[in-house]
Structures are given as C-alpha cells and as structure tokens.
Structure 1
C-alpha cells in the first residue's frame, strides 16, 4: 500500500510518501517540505491568524495533489502543537476540510509521545529492553518510557525549540545571561517529569528522536544523513555542553552555515540544544542513541496495525467535528503546564 503522511508541525509542513505493508519496513518514496512557521502565526488571543490559516490551506491543498499524483491510496494528515494549542482549532480544521477535502486530525500530546515511542521500539526491537525516548519538536518535548510497544509513561511538555526561542531567546545571538537563566528554568520544569519517567524503571537504552536531535548529533561529529539511516549515531552530554558554548555565541546566519543545520532550523537550534541538555541532565543520561524513526513512522505503523486488528489509530477519543476528523482541544499531558 502506498501512503501519504502529512505532518503539520509548529514550523514545517512535511509530506512523506511511503510504500508500507504490515510486517514490513516502510520504504520512503518521496519527501516534500514547506516551512510555514505556524506557531509564529498565533495572535495575542491565541488564535491562528487568517493569514496563517490561508497559508496552511494552500499548502495542504498542494501537498494533497502531490500525494494523489504519487499514487497514494490514502493520506494520513495530522497536526501537532501549533494547531493543537490554537484557540480556534475547530474553525481552522473546518476551513481545511471545506477548501481542500483533507481530513486533518489533531494529535494530543500523549498520542504524539505514544506514536513516537512505537516507532522507536520497532526500530530497536525487543532486545533493547526498557527504552527511554526523548523527542524535541517546535512546540513540545515528548518523554516516554516502556518495555513494550505501548509506553508506561508518555509525557508531552510545552518545551519545544521554537516555543522557547520565541519566549526566551529573542536576541541574536542570545545573551550569555539569558542562556543561563533558561538553563535554570528548564532544570526546574523538568525535575518532576524526569522523576516520573525514572520511577517506571531504569532504562536499558536511552534514545533520542526528531530532527533537532539528529542535527545536534551531526554538529558533535555523528555521520551525515547521506551515510544512511542504519549508521549508529550518538549524542553525548559532554559534546552537547561544548556545542552549546560554541553555537550560543553565533548569529542565526552563522549557524545556518553549519553542516547539518538548515536555514529553517538555525534560529531555534540553541533552544533545542538547551532542552536536550536539560532533559539528559534531569534523567542522568550521558549518551543517547539517535533513532531515524519518529512520529511519522509511528503513525504509519499504527495505521497498519489498526487495519489488521481493528483498533483505534490513536488512543484519545476523536471528537465529532462534522465531516472532518478532529479531536477536542487536547490538554497538556502529564507533567506539563499550559
């Protein structure tokens, strides 16, 4: 089966076309991205602006056409933090459906964490034992831990790289004092969630997923993406500390020149590095393995499982929003705050 996975994130809209079958390895066929920065299109009242919604609708319509011309039998379209947190989510979803015909589903933070963990578990297998996974997005940080495919702990915290850049690091480059204050604040925010994750059991393997962690690993010497997904990549706490000392003194333009850092990710890589460092410190982790699979792959795997056994695609009940697939505006998962 050929599937299109449309991921509407806080910064980027990403269409991944894959050939997938139950029991097989999803094979990527094409990848298309557009940087919309939806989180920056939220106004003071918490609404996604008309201009932001217009850009989203145009992009979803264009990507749906690409999925159709690529031979996709189905388009799995979902949105995460930016659309989830908007106060006019239902209105935006209605416009997306009415103007593009695409049913855009909003994932709760918990489902985002669960589906990412599923992808990580399938990548490493049962022999990995208990896995703790960290995933940094534009709007949120996901933490999960478990022995099975369903994590025992699945948390989503409002500590995304883009969110913290906007709220804390407006100067370019960010001031040393501001970086220090954010470090202290993150330590306080992560103390409780980290305690909850570790209470489930000591990990046999600690893993990091998401583009932010892949970029950080590359900047500290890991193999480039061109070496393929099966090359072992790691990120160490000591390497991360040295990296932060280096990139926090650089301008966004200079960071965009670094190998492994795109122009879209350059503004928020410092905040992402600080979240990664604080998460590893809170969990007493010195090294993480970088997993090439994350949320999109988890959604594909759950879709295949759901078709085989009739289970729900996501855990959180889906609200009735008329002709589109939607969900009541998600509350923050365990440990977080609005």
Structure 2
C-alpha cells in the first residue's frame, strides 16, 4: 500500500553494520523533495570475535547499544516521526541475536530489523545506483563490509544479480590474523587470497556470464583503499586500479600495526582490519578481471531512504524519471518552484525548439535541447530567494546545486540560459558570465535563452492557456509564431511580442504572431476551429500584425 505524504516529515535511517553504525536523518516534503539534516557514524566493532565464536560479545553489544541509544535520542530530539533501523552480517549470523535485539529494544527504544544478505545487497544497489547516471551501461556493485561482501549487477533498474558473500574485513582478519598486530608475510597473504577466491567462486562464475561495463565500489574499506593508492602511488582518489591495489597490498601487509597506522591515506582506526579488506577486493578484481573500481560514498542507509521514499505515491511516480530529471525536480521542489508553470514553460520551450529547427532557423542539437528543458524547469528557481533579480539568483543556484548527472559545462549553459531568460540580451563585452563560456556554448545560449524568454511569456498568467506554440514559415522571409489557446490569451500574446528584437538578434529574421482559440473539448468535437485575434489592444509600434489563420 503506497503511503501519501500529507505534510513535511522527518525520518531517520540506521544501518548497524559489523564495524560501524551509521545514521541518516532527512526532512521529506510533500512534493517528495528531501533535505539531509544530519549524517553520523560511530565505530562500534559489533562483530569483534563474533564470526569465530558465533556469538556477539557482551562488550561489543554494549558499545553498539550506547551508540544506537545516542542516535535514537538525537533523532527524537529533532522531531523524527519514524526511525528505520536494520542490522546486517554480525547480527544475522550470531546465535544470540535475539538477546541483542531485545536489548536494543529495551535500552535504545528501537525496533531493529535483521535483513538477509541478498536484501542487504538490494538496498546497497538501490542506494548507490540511484545517484548515478549509468547512460545505459550495466554496472557491478561491490560493497565490502566488516562481516560480508555484497554484490549486485544492474543498469539502474531492477537488479539482475544479487549475492552476499561471507567475506568481510573484520571476518577475514579475525580468521587469519587475530589482532593483526604483526606484519604479514607474502605466503600468508596468498592463503588469504585463495580463501577469498574459494568463497567467491560461484558468484564469479555467474558474473563472468553477465557482461558489465563498469564496476562501482562502496563502503569505508574501498574508500580507504582509494585514498591509500592516491596518497602513496599517484591514484586519483576516486577509483582503485588493479595495479595500484597490488602495490597497496604489498605496502600494507608488510608492516606491523604500529607502522601501518602511520601510512599516508589510511585512517589509523582501520589499520587492524585493512589487510582483510585489501585481500577481498584484490581477490574479486583478479577473479573477474576488473581493471578499475569507481568509488561511491553512498551505501545501505541511502538504500533505506530510497526504499522508504519508494513506498510513497510521489516516490513511485518519480521512479520513471531519469537521474537528471529526478535531480532537477527534487531541487525545484526543494525551493518551492511553481511546478505546473515550470512544466508548461518547459513544454512550450521544446515546441519552439523543435518547430524552429524544423524550419531551419537554428541547428542546435538534441543534447542542447535537453539542457533547454532542464533550464526551463528551473527558470524561476531563484524566486525562492527573491523575485527581484530572480534570474540572477537562479544562475547562482544552478551553478552550485550539485545536480547529479550533469557536467560542469552543462550546468554553466543551463545557468547562463536562466540568467538571460529576462531583461538583457547576452553580450561578451558586458556580461562576464556569458564571456566565460566557450564559443560553442555561447552560440547555444543565444538561441536557448530567447526560446526560454518566449516560452515563459507564453505562460505569463501561469494558467496554461497556451496549448501549443509552433514556428512556421511566414511571408516575405518572416517567421510566424502560431499559438493555440483554449481561452483568451491576450496577456501571453502581447507578452511574447516584447521579444521581437532578441529574436531577430539570435535568428536574423523578423517574427509575426497569430493565435487560434479552441473551445473546451466536447464528446465529439468538430475538426473545424475558429481563429481570431486576442482582444487586447496592440501597442502602437512593432511588427505588423499577422493575419490569423483559421
């Protein structure tokens, strides 16, 4: 049953892992936008010795409960209405998990749900893939936790493969290295690698039959390995390469823990479990012949949020949108944009773009068409700060909103298009924002900003009165703008006439307008329609009025 959001709600999501407990608190608005209010992490080592002894140890349970109680109290103080809390490998495999769950309920006031390995993989996949623009590619997702490693394969839709391996940084370290205080010889490290390959052999066999073009790694372990490669061997910090990982492994396992803690790029708190994490990732990369893993900072808690949002009506509706559309709509809703008006302006802008390209007044491409669509959706976002100069505020917002799926160059084109959707026409000598664009982007903005100006004027009343707007070849070399409206569109008609000069600058041709009014649809409406001029009195100057078409 999908749950509607009748007002702003605060929700919290807790991921109790083998190594750490993580908290995410968000405010979710009725329009399905959300703001992250707080993210917290506490290392509790719940899985310490748990996989060897098959039980959660009393000291580890106490550490976890203290952290969980603090997180729950923090969430409640902030006014959170719902807390979703899940536990993973260390808890689900412990023989005394029921005792621990009861302790959490009694002392922290939380209903902790223990999730299966495949469900953990599904949630991680959802949390990580929801922020990525895979561009039609299939990706393998790897998350190395303290007690298990989750694998998922998909293109952003439903996952094609899910698995959970009993391989984790704490688990492998405890099984082979004890407290990992001593240096590890090459021979023992090879034994660890063989162990990883043995436990992952079935997953590797299945994945070799499923092609993928990208590998994405999440979790603190993989983030640490990327930083280690960057700090010591010239990596970029955003990926882990197979060659770099081998060099990191040799560096790390050859050192005792005291020296390991001093290695650049390694959090000292991870020094005792990092060797197990290195062995797991290296074993998987070699078995699957992966050259490079891209690093994501998202994970299970983000999947819990995505899953929770997906149970709302608005969440189900937004699932059909692309990553870029989801980001744009979420940002627009977060600044309370007039969504019906934004959608109408975007529709009209694309009608003008398509019909203008069809008659040859511009040659802009489909990628630029999409940027016009997004710019049109956000053209009034700056009004959140102030309607006065909202075009300038919108320019700033779009440049700095961290919209997912866009390059910086694309954001610049969108931002400058919004900057010039009203008032001045862009000029290099006067406007540094425009001058900073490369010549190709400048050419695009000259076209897009005029189309956006016109589209915005054609919904000047915010009533959606203009049902269709198209350019046609006019007489004597002019371009005719034909409008179809379901009622009086005088405000829109005369509003768009203000842009004649800008139109001629961008397209080198004069513009005329005509408007056909159509009545509300009937059960069997006639095909004939009545055409007439809007009733408002025209200005005394300007291009000659076009003869309306019937």
In which range does the TM-score fall when normalised by the shorter chain? 0.7 to 0.9
Q: Which has the higher contact order (CA 8 A, sep 6+)?
A: 1
Tell me which residue corresponds to 2:54.
46
Q: Partner of 1:267: helix, strand, or coil?
A: coil
Equivalent residue in structure 1 for 2:212, among 187, 192, 203? 203
Q: Do residues 150 (structure 1) and 155 (structure 2) align?
A: no
- 45 and 254 in structure 1: CA distance in 2 versus 1, 3 angstrom threshold: closer
Offset at residue 86 of structure 1 (A):
0.6
Equivalent residue in structure 1 for 2:191, among 181, 187, 195? 181
Question: 1:102, 1:248 → 2: CA distance?
Answer: 39
Structure 1 length as normaliser, TM-score? 0.82
Question: 2:154, 2:132 → 1: CA distance?
Answer: 13
Offset at residue 41 of structure 1 (A):
5.4
- 254 and 307 in structure 1: CA distance in 2 versus 1, 3 angstrom threshold: farther
Question: 1:291, 1:26 → 2: CA distance?
Answer: 20
Computing the radius of gyration over CA atoms, which structure comes out larger, 1 or 2? Answer: 2
Question: 1:39, 1:112 → 2: CA distance?
Answer: 17
Q: Do residues 268 (structure 1) and 273 (structure 2) align?
A: yes
Q: What is the CA deviation profile of residues 178-221 of structure 1, one whole-angstrom value per residue up to 9, with x for unaligned ones?
A: 1111112222322221111232x211221111111111011111
Q: What is the CA deviation profile of residues 72-126 of structure 1, one whole-angstrom value per residue up to 9, with x for unaligned ones?
A: 2322211111111111222221221123321111111001101111122212135
Structure 2 length as normaliser, TM-score? 0.51
- 79 and 21 in structure 1: CA distance in 2 versus 1, 3 angstrom threshold: farther
Aligned residues: 303
Q: Which moved more, 1:10-19 or 1:128-137?
A: 10-19
Are the aligned partners of 1:8 and 1:78 in contact in 2 as well (CA < 8 Å)? yes
Offset at residue 144 of structure 1 (A):
1.0
Q: Do residues 284 (structure 1) and 289 (structure 2) align?
A: yes
Q: What is the CA deviation profile of residues 129-181 of structure 1, one whole-angstrom value per residue up to 9, with x for unaligned ones?
A: 21111110000011111234321111001100110000012341223221111
Equivalent residue in structure 2 for 1:219, among 222, 225, 228? 228
Displaced runs of 4 or more, over 4 A:
20-27
Q: Partner of 1:15: helix, strand, or coil?
A: strand
Are the aligned partners of 2:229 and 2:237 in contact in 1 as well (CA < 8 Å)? no
Are the aligned partners of 1:14 and 1:32 in contact in 2 as well (CA < 8 Å)? yes
Q: Do residues 169 (structure 1) and 177 (structure 2) align?
A: yes
Q: Do residues 234 (structure 1) and 267 (structure 2) align?
A: no
Are the aligned partners of 2:88 and 2:115 in contact in 1 as well (CA < 8 Å)? yes
Question: 1:250, 1:21 → 2: CA distance?
Answer: 51
- 301 and 6 in structure 1: CA distance in 2 versus 1, 3 angstrom threshold: same
Question: 2:306, 2:183 → 1: CA distance?
Answer: 40
Tell me which residue corresponds to 1:335.
none
- 140 and 176 in structure 1: CA distance in 2 versus 1, 3 angstrom threshold: same
Q: Which runs of 5+ in 1 are unaligned?
A: 223-230, 312-338
Question: 1:64, 1:56 → 2: CA distance?
Answer: 12
